[in-house]
A = this chain, B = another copy of it.
Amino acid sequence: MDRNVEALKTVKALTFDVFGTVVDWRGTIIREGRALGRTHGLRVDWPRFADAWRAGYAPAMQRVRSGELPWTDLDTLHRMILDDLLAQFEITGLNEAEIEHLNRVWHRLRPWPDARAGLAALRRNFVLATLSNGHVALLVNMAKTARLPWDCILSAELFRHYKPDPEVYLGAAALLGLAPHEVMMVAAHNGDLLAARSVGMRTAFVARPREHGPGQTTDLTPAAGVDIAATDFCDLAAKLSPRAEP
């Protein structure tokens, strides 16, 4: 966080990681899982189920990166993982429509409490875009449900590469008609930020210390080299305000 603040004055657009940074995937899955459990008489450890679903995501993407699978959207990857989890957690009695509805919980993830107001404040001064491994349709549906005020939906799907591949960050800047240093990546994950930084983007870390639940041990503090650290999106808006004197 020692970069000269002058370097931030060129920023015209902010690109946002979504899962965990904007929306609370774990809390939403636990809430929907518990409701499903009540109607179907299921006894499931939903926090463990949510964590297992998310844990299947990086290996599933790796199967695409390695060429074992062709380009695959996140609904399909999530469903492959979910089908395994239904067996593993002994979840039975759901028909196909109910399983498909559960799979699409990722389209209905709820925003962190500060997200909507923080984005609205940031949008006054910057172009705001998603930059997620989620596909376009998922991100559009999520924005509609959660009322997230994006200027533009950008996704790994447009580049046929998942983050943290550099093609995603460079492709986003190009589509926005900007140089990488005119774009700031916003994420709760240092890995995402360092990949963005490596192609010349500016970076903002927003702490989401409960993304993985009460015992979270990762991404509690920003990595060295991140430009700005914020406690939430409203704090980020204050720190990036043209009137702020950092």
Chain A residues at the B interface, C-beta cutoff of 8 Å: 75, 127, 129, 135-138, 140-141, 143-144, 151-153, 157-158, 175-178
Instruction: Pick from B135, B137, B175: contact of A137, CB below 8 A.
Output: B175
Task: Knowing A127-B144, A144-B127 are in contact, say whether A152-B176 is a contact too (CB < 8 A).
Answer: no
- Told that A140-B151, A158-B158 touch, could you supply 8 new A-B pairs with CB distance under 8 A? A127-B140, A127-B144, A129-B140, A136-B152, A136-B176, A137-B175, A137-B176, A140-B152
A143, A177, A178, most chain B CB atoms within 10 A: A177
Interchain CB contact under 8 A, B158 and A151: no
Q: Is the interface of A mostly helix, strand, loop or mixed?
A: helix
A129, A141, A151, most chain B CB atoms within 10 A: A151
Q: Can you report 17 A-B residue pairs in the complex whose CB atoms are below 8 A from each other?
A: A127-B140, A129-B140, A135-B175, A135-B177, A136-B152, A136-B176, A136-B177, A137-B175, A137-B177, A137-B178, A138-B177, A144-B151, A151-B153, A152-B153, A153-B153, A157-B175, A158-B158
Report Cα–Cα, A144/B176, bound state, in Å: 13
Which residues from chain B contact A176 at a C-beta distance below 8 Å? 136-137, 140
Q: Which residue of B lies closest to A136 (CB)?
A: B175
Interchain CB contact under 8 A, B151 and A143: yes
